[in-house]
Amino acid sequence: MAYEITDKCIKCGKCEFVCPEDAIKRGWTGYRIDPDLCDSCGGCTYVCPVKAIEPD
């Protein structure tokens, strides 16, 4: 089960730096999680200040 970043994202970047698999990248429209790289550790959900990351 991978995670996804919802429209609630404020683009703070905290999730990108905590991801041990380097699965979170910033794109033109904001951050996204590569489901092939995500190992579902959930670390990104703990650091997100607006709870914008949910299970996919």
Q: Which of 1-5, 45-49, 50-54 has the lowest mean pLDDT?
A: 1-5
User: How wide is the angle at C-alpha 48 spanned by C-alphas 36 and 52, nearest 5°?
Assistant: 70
Residue the block writes with tokens 């905590």 = 18
Domain 3-55 CATH (choose: 2.30.110.10, 3.30.70.20, 3.30.43.10, 3.40.50.300): 3.30.70.20
Residue the block writes with tokens 């699965």 = 23
Backbone angles phi and psi of 53, in degrees to 5: -110, 125
Six token digits for residue 10 = 């404020």
User: Would you state the pLDDT for residue 56?
Assistant: 86
- Tens-place pLDDT, residues 9-45: 999 999 999 999 999 999 999 999 999 999 999 999 9
